[in-house]
């Protein structure tokens, strides 16, 4: 794979050296690495390791400069066939994110600090995955920037043990000053002032020490402030300024002890593990990640933050206790070898890259009614076969969630509650926040509405597949609608093929539990072994009254079937209970009324037990097709070519009218003739014909 890393510069620092170490390890493992930065002294070792460096001003914070860099980086990604963009800092992060989105490449970040939760820092948690070097920083990002735990990967920084070789401690001669090292840029948060005060306290105790400060040039802004403090304490002769150093292993080996007196949270503490690798005892502030890399009294010493006296006491203890020093050094080196080597860091990072590239996060949109969601099950199966290791989520309406709650092809659901979102602005914002936090890589739009096109675009999903409609420009790629009328599943198959995915058959699926099947058995009427069971669903969508046959005709048909000796059950949802009661009042013989007594999966189990189902163009038609029950389907204002399930078994009854199919919830002619022309006699005849051809009564589950 080809990895593009982007960071501000390649000056001497923990982040920059980590980039060089990672690039070297990736090249050794056969991968390609390109690094974009403003340059610096580490460019030479980077290119010597086999990586490519491109010098652009990605460290400039002016928006105009950042904007000019985006097309350059995007062109580099395209020309170099980059697989993944890995951002290491905020300004390069914005550039890398925009370029990755433009080129539809995977975007990954490593958060190296405790960023304030403002807009400029948000890009560092917009990666497909977010790498952090410590558990402390992971918790911070979850609490302050609301990053889901499942998107965070903890990879501690590694030490090259070939470079940072172990050097045994050599006891100082009496009176010879102890060399105490403090490494890092000169900054109030690094705690150099605390170290200076601690050394002043040691000198007052007549303990000979020499404080060695390295990490910045002599003209660094903080240098003057520290010089004034040193002069006020009158310890100029005990302080040695080392400036910027590139030979860190040798520098650490020249010390007797290393201090890390940070007063602001460290994301890891690279200087700690490097000193431990070389074999030097470390005393550090007890703050966030430093508490993770040091076990107090076992692999080093931890003292309260900013407490110069506590640092002085800990130094004095180590100076006077050689056995403690040796024990701390040995345990620390052993832990570095087992947990914090550069090889471990590279292996874990490669695993994250491979996870991003081989386990995409896919979002499928299907916000429609129950029947539409059932018709989407072949596509769910096809997407899982196409991406066997992917994380696949379904955006589904609350009323239809039950149909796929147990679907084995899905990993999660995003429930779309349209009523709640219409009532509450906050509900809509929460839904959008959830979408963005999930960081999906691919959107497959089976809803094909302007709303879902906008939602996928706003969620920042880089690849958005769907049919081009009014806002088709929001898709990439967008598929032109076929010029012929296709059934729903065929319509979805066409979309998949145009997007380069293979369909996985036409079969609809449902996933009832064993308890659902038991509940269905208990609800069914007791009947003879040779008595066929017929299910009737006289209802359907309350909005689509034009799809319904007259209730009086359902009553006549039901009585005719019962007179023929068949067992009949009336099916429907809770909202159709009044319809069932009305039907009962108009009949002399009473069928078994199951309206409102089953959930969706239990209803599917009941339909599976039936030898025949009679229904309008409704969800029960799709349930019957999914479980293989023969059906007499009554169609009026809709076209069966567009709505009939592909695995439908049975007969369609439809009357050709000059106005059909009208797809109108209200009859424009006010006659409802398309349904009224369907007679009880022809429905009865079709039912008897199908029953004669059907399996024996009491269909298996």
Model confidence over 367-381: pLDDT tens digits? 878 888 999 999 999
Residue the block writes with tokens 């920083």:
137
Query: Which strand ranges, in their side-by-side order, compose the sheet holding 442-445?
Result: 412-416, 391-397, 361-366, 442-445, 463-467, 478-479
**What is the number of alpha carbons within 13 Å of residue 156 lying toward its C-beta?**
25
For residues 477 and 465, is the Cβ–Cβ distance under 8 A? yes
DSSP state of 5: E
Contacts of 685 (CB under 8 A, 6+ apart): none
DSSP state of 173: P
Return the SS3 of 472: helix
For residues 381 and 410, give the distance between their C-alpha atoms in angstroms, rounded to a whole number: 9
Mean pLDDT, to the nearest integer, of 650-670?
79
Among 364-373, 436-445, 653-662, name the one with the lowest average pLDDT: 653-662
For residues 97 and 103, give the distance between their C-alpha atoms in angstroms, rounded to a whole number: 10
For residues 567 and 532, is the Cβ–Cβ distance under 8 A? yes
Query: CA separation (Å) from 471 to 435, 455, 631?
Result: 20, 11, 38
Protein fold of 178-340: Rossmann fold (3.40.50)
For residues 137 and 120, give the distance between their C-alpha atoms in angstroms, rounded to a whole number: 18
Where does residue 296 rank: exposed (0-12), middle (13-18), buried (19+ CB within 10 A)? middle
What is the predicted pLDDT for the residue at 38?
A: 94
For residues 134 and 113, is the Cβ–Cβ distance under 8 A? no
Same fold, 178-340 and 514-693: yes
Tell me whether the omega of the peptide bond preceding residue 509 falls within 30 degrees of 0, making it cis.
Answer: no
Query: CA separation (Å) from 654 to 632, 640, 657, 672, 681?
Result: 11, 9, 9, 13, 14
pLDDT, one tens digit per residue, over 582-600 is 887 888 778 888 888 888 8
What is the predicted pLDDT for the residue at 184?
A: 86
To which H or E segment does residue 563 belong? Answer: helix 551-563
Among 86-100, 326-340, 580-594, 659-673, name the one with the lowest average pLDDT: 659-673
Whether 336 has a pLDDT exceeding 80, the answer reads yes
Domain residue spans of the chain: 2-154, 178-340, 359-498, 514-693
Q: Which residues pair with 256 in a beta bridge?
A: none
Q: Give the closest residue to 369 by CA, choosing from 394, 415, 401.
A: 401
Q: Is 0.95 topped by the overall pTM?
A: no
What is the predicted pLDDT for the residue at 456?
A: 92
Average pLDDT, the chain: 89
The vertex-125 CA angle with 123 and 130, nearest 5°, equals: 130
Greatest pairwise CA separation for the chain in angstroms: 115
Return the SS3 of 516: helix
Contacts of 342 (CB under 8 A, 6+ apart): 21, 25, 158, 159, 160, 161
Query: CA separation (Å) from 302 to 179, 194, 284, 297, 632?
Result: 19, 14, 5, 8, 78
CATH class of the domain whose range is 2-154: alpha beta
Q: Please state the length of the chain.
A: 701
pLDDT, one tens digit per residue, over 58-71 is 999 899 999 999 99
Whether 695 has a pLDDT exceeding 60, the answer reads no
The C-alpha R_g of the chain, in whole angstroms, comes to 35
CATH class of the domain whose range is 359-498: alpha beta
Contacts of 635 (CB under 8 A, 6+ apart): 616, 617, 643, 652, 653, 654
Between the two ends of the chain, the Cα-to-Cα distance in Å is 49
Residue the block writes with tokens 């300024």:
241
Mean pLDDT, to the nearest integer, of 19-28?
94
Residue the block writes with tokens 């003209």:
219
User: Is the pLDDT higher at 638 or at 343?
Assistant: 343
For residues 314, 318, 321, 326, the Cα torsion angle rounded to the nearest 10 degrees is 130
CATH class of the domain whose range is 514-693: alpha beta
For residues 47 and 507, give the distance between their C-alpha atoms in angstroms, rounded to a whole number: 55
For residues 258 and 167, give the distance between their C-alpha atoms in angstroms, rounded to a whole number: 14
Return the SS3 of 595: coil
């Amino acid at each position: 794979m080809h990895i593009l890393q982007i960071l501000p510069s390649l000056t001497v620092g923990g982040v920059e050296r980590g980039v060089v170490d990672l690039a070297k390890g990736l090249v050794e493992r056969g991968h390609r690495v390109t690094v974009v930065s403003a340059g610096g002294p580490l460019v030479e070792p980077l290119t010597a390791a086999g990586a490519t460096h491109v010098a652009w001003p990605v460290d400039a914070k002016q928006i105009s400069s950042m904007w000019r860099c985006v097309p350059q980086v995007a062109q580099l990604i395209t020309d170099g066939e980059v697989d993944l963009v890995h951002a290491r800092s905020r300004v390069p992060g914005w550039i890398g994110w925009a370029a990755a989105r433009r080129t539809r490449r995977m975007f990954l970040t490593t958060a190296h600090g405790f960023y304030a939760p403002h807009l400029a820092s948000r890009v560092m948690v917009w990666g497909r995955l977010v790498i952090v070097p410590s558990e402390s920083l992971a918790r911070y990002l979850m609490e302050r920037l609301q990053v889901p735990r499942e998107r965070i990967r903890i990879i501690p920084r590694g030490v090259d043990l070939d470079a940072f070789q172990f050097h045994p401690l050599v006891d100082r001669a009496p009176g010879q000053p102890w060399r105490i090292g403090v490494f890092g840029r000169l900054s109030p948060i690094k705690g150099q002032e605390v170290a200076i005060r601690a050394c002043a306290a040691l000198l007052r105790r007549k303990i000979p020490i020499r404080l060695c400060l390295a990490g910045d040039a002599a003209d660094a802004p903080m240098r003057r402030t520290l010089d004034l403090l040193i002069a006020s304490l009158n310890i100029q002769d005990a302080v040695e300024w080392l400036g910027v150093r590139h030979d860190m292993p040798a520098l650490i080996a020249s010390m007797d002890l290393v201090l890390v007196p940070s007063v602001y949270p460290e994301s890891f503490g690279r200087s700690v593990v490097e000193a431990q690798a070389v074999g030097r005892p470390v005393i550090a502030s007890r703050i966030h990640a430093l508490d993770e890399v040091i076990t107090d009294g076992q692999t080093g010493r931890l003292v309260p933050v900013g407490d110069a006296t506590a640092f002085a006491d800990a130094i004095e203890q180590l100076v006077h206790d050689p056995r403690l020093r040796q024990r701390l050094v040995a345990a620390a080196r052993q832990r570095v070898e087992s947990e914090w080597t550069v090889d471990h860091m590279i292996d874990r990072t490669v695993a994250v890259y491979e996870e991003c590239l081989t386990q995409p996060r896919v979002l499928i949109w299907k916000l429609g009614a129950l029947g539409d969601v059932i018709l989407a099950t072949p596509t769910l199966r096809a997407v899982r076969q196409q991406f066997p290791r992917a994380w696949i989520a379904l955006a589904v309406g609350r009323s239809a969630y039950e149909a796929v709650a147990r679907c084995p092809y899905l990993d999660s659901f995003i429930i779309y509650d349209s009523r709640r979102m219409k009532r509450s602005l906050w509900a809509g914002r929460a839904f959008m926040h959830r979408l963005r936090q999930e960081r999906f890589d691919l959107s497959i739009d089976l809803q094909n509405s302007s709303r879902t096109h906008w939602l996928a675009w706003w969620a920042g999903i880089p690849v958005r597949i769907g049919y081009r409609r009014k806002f088709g420009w929001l898709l990439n790629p967008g598929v032109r609608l076929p010029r012929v009328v296709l059934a729903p599943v065929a319509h979805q198959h066409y979309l998949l093929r145009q997007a380069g995915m293979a369909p996985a058959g036409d079969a609809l699926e449902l996933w009832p539990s064993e308890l659902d099947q038991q509940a269905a058995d208990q609800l069914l009427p007791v009947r003879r072994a040779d008595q066929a069971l017929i299910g009737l669903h006289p209802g359907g969508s309350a909005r689509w009254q034009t799809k319904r046959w007259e209730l009086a005709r359902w009553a006549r048909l039901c009585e005719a079937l019962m007179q023929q000796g068949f067992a009949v059950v009336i099916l429907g949802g809770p909202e159709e209970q009044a319809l069932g009661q009305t039907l009962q009042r108009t009949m002399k013989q009473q069928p078994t009324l199951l309206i409102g007594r089953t959930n969706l999966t239990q209803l599917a189990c009941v339909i599976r037990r039936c030898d025949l189902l009679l229904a309008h163009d409704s969800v029960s038609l799709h349930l019957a097709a999914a479980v293989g029950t023969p059906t007499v389907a009554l169609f009026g204002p809709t076209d069966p070519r567009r709505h009939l399930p592909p695995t439908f078994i049975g007969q369609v009854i439809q009357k050709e009218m000059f106005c059909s199919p009208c797809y109108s919830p209200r009859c424009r002619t006010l006659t409802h003739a398309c349904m009224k022309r369907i007679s009880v006699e022809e429905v009865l005849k079709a039912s008897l014909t199908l029953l004669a051809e059907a399996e024996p009564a009491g269909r298996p589950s």
